Amino acid sequence: MDHESCTSQHAAPCYRVRETPYTGEAKARGVFAARSIRRGELVETAHCIYISKQEYDQHMRHTVLEHYLFSSRGEYFLALGVGSLFNHSCRPCLDYRVLRDQLVITYTAARDIQEGEELTITYGKIWFEDQSLKTRTDEDDPVHHHMDDPDGFLAALAL
């Protein structure tokens, strides 16, 4: 099978990864809507690598992956694919859920999203200066119920 026929079997994703200079990394990326997305639409399903509390405490928390891990009930999950590239906003347009048994995180539109908008999640309390609002004009009211979700925090929040 040649490259073209292989890639043509995949449905086009509703997002695109682009640079986000405001997040400050050497290669700073974020995820953006490639088309309009309806509230409730499943945007991504990220398969995860499971990381035990022991592995996290002894190794991972001392690495750059500390900034990419999700925690849920004292265990840790590294989301593969774009699952690790959603930036934080205190007015996120995505909800996410950690499905521990399936080792999967799902990301769902929390409201209607326009083409070109950045797709963001909340990290809960954050440990860096949130630069996102300085670059956005979106005035939509966020959906904040996921702030109370024990399965919805990045790792640093558990420290």
Ligand X SMILES: C[S@@+](CC[C@H](N)C(=O)[O-])C[C@H]1O[C@@H](n2cnc3c(N)ncnc32)[C@H](O)[C@@H]1O
Binding site for ligand X (CB under 6 A): 20, 22-25, 28-30, 67-68, 84-85, 87-89, 128, 130-132
Q: Which of 138, 11, 154, 12 is nearest to 83 (CA)?
A: 154
Q: Which is nearer to ligand X, 40 or 116 (CB)?
A: 116
**Smallest distance, Å, CB 133 to ligand X?**
8
| CB closer to ligand X, 4 vs 129 | 129
CB of 34 to ligand X, least distance (A): 18
Nearer to ligand X, 67 or 100 (CB): 67
| Nearest-approach distance from CB 25 to ligand X, in angstroms | 5
- CB closer to ligand X out of 38 and 127: 127
**In the bound complex, what is the minimum distance in angstroms from residue 12's beta carbon to ligand X?**
22
